[in-house]
Each structure stands twice: as structure tokens, then as C-alpha cells.
Amino acid sequence: KKGHLVFAVNGQRFELFTVDPSMTLLEFLRTQTPFKSVKLGCGEGGCGACTVLLSKYDPLLDQVEDFTASSCLTLLCSINGCSITTTEGLGNSKVGFHSIHKSAEKTDRPEPSPGYSKLTVTEAEKAIAGNLCRCTGYRPIADACKSFAS
Ligand code: FES
């Protein structure tokens, strides 16, 4: 249907029939969902505080492509058919934490996940590039990411 949007956030289906064309994904997440982990930092795509994982089926490749996206720059009307994952979608104390959470908590005792075992240290560093941390410093974050590297 014209103007009809269907997408998922952390596995929860959303279907919108009226969308403000200027609304960003960040604004939608913060005001119309329980998923508040995304933050408005710079609002210009420079800090990474609003980063989400965006997954979209590519019919030409017949596979799901995953991208990180700055939700402050992503118009809501551009995500039709996409699946969005915020950090809430990675797990929590009720359903269990993702291995990246555990590793971030215990950087001295990393718990690598098999899915991340092929990540190199360089790739780990690249993966967190563009995410500006203003609260804890970079070392613990970088160490947690590198704990998944081979
Ligand atoms: Fe800084 Fe989106 S708020 S990149």
C-alpha cells in the first residue's frame, strides 16, 4: 500500500500507515518504542551514540545484508522491510546477555563467541571506529571488542 511501512525492531513488528517524512529512525525509537538505548549525541552522524544494526534482505544475492546505521540520519520512511536491532535486542538480565555484553563486563576474562572467532584485531578496531565515547574511555571498549578477535 502506498505510504505503508512495515519493519521490525528487536523482533517486534511495526506497521505504520501514516509517517512524517521528516521523522528519523532515532526519533521514532525514542518516542514510540520502549527501545531507548539509542541516544541523540551529535545528531550529525559523527558520534555513534545512535547506532543500530540494520538488516535487509537482498533479493539479488538472496541473503540478508547487515549494516550499522546512524539512526539520527536514517529517515524512518527508508526502512521499509528492514529489521532493526538495538542493544536491547542483544539480550538482558531476564533473557540472558549476549557474549559481547559479558566480554565487555569482564575484559580480563573474555568469552569469545564462535560467530566472532574469525574477527581480526584490525577488524575489531575498524568495527568500533566512528563511535565516540565520552564517559569511560576507549580502552575497556576496545579490549572487549578485541577479545573476539583471533
Ligand atoms: Fe551522533 Fe547519530 S547522534 S551519530
State the residue range of the domain holding 18: 5-88
* ipTM of this complex: 0.99
Please state the domain count of the chain.
2
Same domain, 21 and 82: yes
Q: Which residues line ligand 1 (CB under 6 A)?
A: 40-43, 45-50, 70, 72
Task: Classify residue 72 as exposed, middle or buried by CB count within 10 Å of its CB (0-12, 13-18, 19+).
Answer: buried
Distance from Cα 69 to the centre of ligand 1, integer Å: 10
Considering the domain architecture, whether residues 109 and 63 belong to the same structural domain is answered as no
* In-domain check, residue 93: no
Instruction: Answer whether residue 23 is part of any domain.
Output: yes
pTM over 0.90: no
Q: Do 12 and 81 reside in the same domain of the chain?
A: yes
Q: Verify that 60 and 113 share a domain, yes or no.
A: no
Same domain as 77, residue 28 = yes
**Interacting residues of 150 by C-beta distance below 8 A, sequence separation 6+:** 117, 118, 119, 120
Tens-place pLDDT, residues 66-99: 999 999 999 999 999 999 999 999 887 788 877 7
Question: From ligand 1's centre to the CA of 103, what distance in Å?
Answer: 25
Mutate to test the pocket of ligand 1, among 24, 27, 72 (most ligand atoms within 8 A of CB): 72
Query: For atom 4 of ligand 1, which residue has the closest CA?
Result: 45
- Please give the distance, rounded to the nearest whole angstrom, from the Cα atom of residue 62 to the centre of ligand 1: 31
